[in-house]
Structure 1
Amino acid sequence: MQPIRIGVIGVGIIGKAHLQQYAGIPGAKVVAVCDINEQEARQAADLYGIPHVYTDYKDMLARDDIDAVDVCLHNNFHAPLTIAALRAGKHVYCEKPLAGSYADGISMLEAARETGRKLHIQLNTLYKKETKAAKALIDDGQLGRIFHGRSNGFRRRGRPYVDGFGTVHFTRKSSAGGGALLDMGVYHIAQMLYLLGVTEVERMTGRMIQEMDMDLQRRDESGFDVEELALGFVTFKGGVTLDIFEAWAVHLDGIEGSSIVGSQGGIRLPSYHSGEQTGSFSFHTTVADLDLNSTVDLNRMDIRWHRMRANEDAYDSSQHHWVAALQERVELLPTAEIALATLLISEGMYLSHTLGREVAMDEIAANSRSLAVQI
């Protein structure tokens, strides 16, 4: 397998996590890092043995020994950096969400098509064991005709900065574009779109809420102007529907995991509380006029599939998949298209909240404006 030479832009919390994962992927070779904080960049480079450090991404993109660029910046920086890297002839792996606005996401996909470069978005829920099991059941027809999905995400009090972790950049529309919906909801909605097999939105409604108390000093310092709870309902072309509950903070002790139901069966995915699994995967159907609730040993499934299937390691994580696709061992999953549909849904929910009514896909696209921050 030929090595894939990678340049990473941004070595904050997410960038460091990406560097740590690349260190464990055969064939991934990070040759350069870039960050406006030179000290942070050099520390990361020293830790992972990366030979080249930059503070200007344009200088890094000028290198001819970089195959791919990993963009690990805040949402509204994604489009300018991604487009610049694509036009410099690099494949691009970008953090979620795709961008801060649907208009910017469209420009990113158009640039990828125009340049013939691959664009991959970090959607880690697509590589979870429960997603693989659900996809296997769906592809085998065990759910019959799928008609509805439920996308759930939960934290009790997990708002960035105001609840004691992360930076103010997560809590301001100017840098993040939105709150819980764009931070966490991206993962859960994208997982549902992947399993439902739909991306063509017809119409939707949404409600954004910020009602819970927070530390007054941190509220002032954060400039908190995004939602802590997002609620929505989406109808896709063809009639499939999806409801959405995404909470950074809500007074509950937990919620059920996301689910998908069809004419012959249903799936409930594990529930999570602030990233920690609190529920299990289950499959529900009727056999011989008996209602069955079944569990799956996901770990045994994973072991068997790695033993029996070629290139199963290409689906161990988003970055494993990215490297394997660049090595041409597997076809790249349509993460950019899924991420764009996810962004359309998010933006539609924001627009619906602002207008106080249901909105259609064409209306969302027509109202979308670039939030890109040029650097």
Structure 2
Amino acid sequence: MKTVRIGLIGVGLIGKMHLDEYANIPGAEVVAVCDINEAEVKLVAAKYNISHVYTDFRQLLERDDLDCIDVCLHNNFHAPVTIAALEAGKHVYCEKPIAGSYYDGKAMVDAAIQSGKMLHVQIATLYHKETKLAKELIEAGKLGKLYHARSNGFRRRGRPYVDGYGTPSFTRKETAGGGALFDMGVYHISQILYLLGIPSIRTITGQTYQEMGMDPERREISGFNVEELGLGFVKFDGGASLDIMEAWSVHLGGFEGSCVIGSEGGIRLPAYKSGQPQTPMTFHSTVSDMDLDSTIDVHSNNNRRELMSADYDAYRSSQHHLIAAIQERVPMLPTAEISLQTMLISEGIYMSSQLGREVTAEEVIAESKSTAIKL
């Protein structure tokens, strides 16, 4: 198999997580790393045995021996760096969300089309075992006509920095663009859009909140000006709908798992808390006029599929998929398109909350502005 040579930009928490993942993927080789923090990038290069170190991403992009650039920067830096990398003739793997606004995400997608290079966005939930099994059930017609879905994401008190982890950059519109919807919601909304087949968005209604108390000193330092709770309702062309509840912080003990409902059956995905599934995946249907509620053994079913498929490893994680797609073993999932539609929904929720009314997809697209920060 072709060895995929990677240049990684941004060696913070997420960048280090990407490096750990690449270390476990045959055929992936990180050749160069870049960060404006020279001391930190040198330490990281030494730890991961990476030969080439840069503090200016433009110099890294001048290399002619890289297949792909991995962008691990804060949201509002995604577009400028990604577009520059695509124009330099490199495939791009970008952290979620696609950008800080729909406008910037669309510019990234357009740049990928114009360059003829792949743009892959990190959506970890697409590679969860339950997502793959749910997609099989849907494609086999076991749910019939899909007409409603629910996207849920829960943290009890898990706001970055103000609740004890992460940095203030996650809590400021200037760098992050948004809060819970951009940080966590992108995973859950994208997962549901993928299962629904990426339907066209018609209208969006939403409301955002920041009502729970926080440490006064950390509030001041963080400049916290994003939402801790985002709620939404989306109508799609064709009549299907989606409701959304995404919480960084809320006075509840948990949410039920996301779900997809069809005319012939329904799927309930596991509910997660602190990164661990709290409930099983279930399938609900009617057979011989009997209502059946079935529990799916996610691990056994997934393991059997891995043993029986030569390319199932290409769907173990977002990065496994990246490498396999560049090696031309599998076609790239439409993660850029899914991410752009997710951004449209999130930005629509913000717009609806501000205006106090339902908004159309066309309104959101027309009003979206660039939030990009050039380096």
Same fold (TM over 0.5): yes
Kept in 1: contact 2:11–2:41 (CA 8 A): yes
Partner Cα separation in structure 1 for residue 133 and residue 266 of structure 2: 12
**Distance in 2 separating the partners of 1:318 and 1:10:** 18
Q: Secondary structure at the match of 1:29?
A: strand
Give the counterpart letter for 1:232 in structure 2.
G
TM-score, normalised by the number of residues in structure 1:
0.99
Root-mean-square deviation (CA), in Å?
0.6
Cα shift at 1:296: 1.4
**How far does residue 48 in structure 1 lie from its aligned partner after superposition?**
1.1
- Mapped partners of 1:202, 1:150: distance in 2: 17
Provide the residue aligned with 2:177 in structure 1: 177
Give the distance between the partners of 2:277 and 2:301, measured in 1 at CA.
18
CA displacement 1:34-54 (0-9 Å, x = unmatched): 000111111111111111000
Cα offset, 1:300, TM superposition: 1.1
Give matches, 1:1-375, under 5 Å. 1-375=1-375
| Structure 2 stretches lacking a partner, 5+ long | none
**One-letter amino acid matched to 1:74:** H
Q: CA deviation at 1:278?
A: 1.1
SS at match of 2:155: coil
Q: Does the 8 Å contact 2:133/2:302 carry over to 1?
A: no
Distance across 2 between alignment mates of 1:304 and 1:112 = 36
Structure 1 consecutive aligned stretches of length 4 or more whose deviation exceeds 6 Å: none
Question: Structure 1 CA distance, aligned partners of 2:151 and 2:231?
Answer: 10
- The 2-side partners of 1:31 and 1:161 are apart by 32
Counterpart amino acid of residue 292 in structure 1: L
1:317-350 Cα distance to aligned partner (Å, 9 max, x none): 0000000000000000000000000000000000
Q: Which moved more, 1:198-207 or 1:342-351?
A: 198-207
CA distance in 2, matches of 1:42, 1:329: 34
Residues of 2 paired with 1:76 and 1:29: CA distance? Answer: 27
Shift of 1:86: 0.2
Q: Deviations over 1:165-213 (max 9, x none)?
A: 0000000000000000000000000000000112411001010001101
| TM-score of the aligned structures, taking structure 2 as reference length | 0.99
Q: Which letter maps to 1:198?
A: I
Structure 2 Cα separation of the partners of residues 311 and 113 of structure 1: 26
- Please give the alpha-carbon distance, in whole angstroms, between the structure 2 residues aligned to 1:140 and 1:310: 21
Which amino acid in structure 2 is aligned with residue 61 of structure 1?
A: L
Contact 1:158/1:274, CA 8 A, preserved across alignment: no
Distance 1:280 1:40 in 2: 41
Q: In the alignment, is the contact (CA less than 8 A) between 1:70 and 1:93 conserved in 2?
A: yes
What is the number of residues matched between the two proteins?
375
Give the drift of 1:97: 0.1
More off after superposition, 34-43 vs 261-270: 34-43
